[in-house]
Amino acid sequence: MMKFYFTPGSCSTGIHILLEELDLVFEAHLVNLLSGTQQTPEYLAINPKATIPTLVRDDGTALTEFQAIAYWLARSYPKAKLLPGDPDGDAKVIEWMDYVVGTIHGQGFTRIFTTEKFTPNPADYEAVKAQGMEIVTRSFAIVNAKLSSSGYVMGNFCIADAALFYVEFWADKIGLTLPDNCLKHYQLMLTRPVVKRVLIEEGYRVG
């Protein structure tokens, strides 16, 4: 049985959604980032990067990094059509994921949520957070201009939608107003039964 290592409300929520969308059987293992579970010898033996998400597959090998796990799931279960299936379409999906995970999350939200990693001086915290907010806001504007006003990233639900959803979820939680197309995408994702179920399973109220 696959083992999924995750932290509620984190980037791993996107992978959690994909696992549930595929109706896969897996063991869920909570990683408490605040208490340092990711630094324990047991977890480091599975994922030396000390990051989430991690997916240990049936053969015992571990996959890390959002894009890699999402791509593997889509390719392993092609009937779900989580990728367009043609080189151009698949490349665009990966382009979307890389921008969301690498820029909106990696450069923007990390400055907001883990400010201390970017400066040793507490006096600089507000400036770092402000820089993170500027990156997030500018990046959402870029995404908004590329998004269709009528639905998902590629027209039908795909792995890039799960990535975009988790940063939209973060924006919602910190009170950041999403631009129109991003807001429509976020609201559309919230209508998916699996998304509602995952949020409830991770301890969030879904109105």
Domains in the chain (CATH in brackets) are: 2-80 (3.40.30.10), 87-192 (1.20.1050.10)
| pLDDT at res. 84 | 96
What is the model's pTM?
Answer: 0.96
| pLDDT at res. 137 | 98
| pLDDT at res. 26 | 97
Are 38 and 31 in contact by the 8 Å Cβ rule? The answer is yes
Neighbour count for residue 205 (Cβ, 10 Å): 6
State how far the Cα of 207 lies from the Cα of 196, in Å rounded to an integer.
9
Burial of residue 47 (number of CB atoms within 10 Å: 0-12, 13-18, 19+):
buried
Low-confidence ranges of the chain (pLDDT < 70): 207
Torsion angle of the four alpha carbons 14, 36, 46, 111, in this order, in degrees rounded to the nearest 10: 50
Interacting residues of 143 by C-beta distance below 8 A, sequence separation 6+: 99, 100, 104, 164, 181, 182
| pLDDT at res. 76 | 97
Torsion angle of the four alpha carbons 105, 110, 113, 116, in this order, in degrees rounded to the nearest 10: 180
| pLDDT at res. 4 | 98
| pLDDT at res. 149 | 76
| pLDDT at res. 207 | 67
For residue 160, CA distances in Å to 7, 60, 68, 94, 181 come to 20, 26, 12, 7, 15
| pLDDT at res. 125 | 97
Are 2 and 60 in contact by the 8 Å Cβ rule? The answer is no
| pLDDT at res. 72 | 98
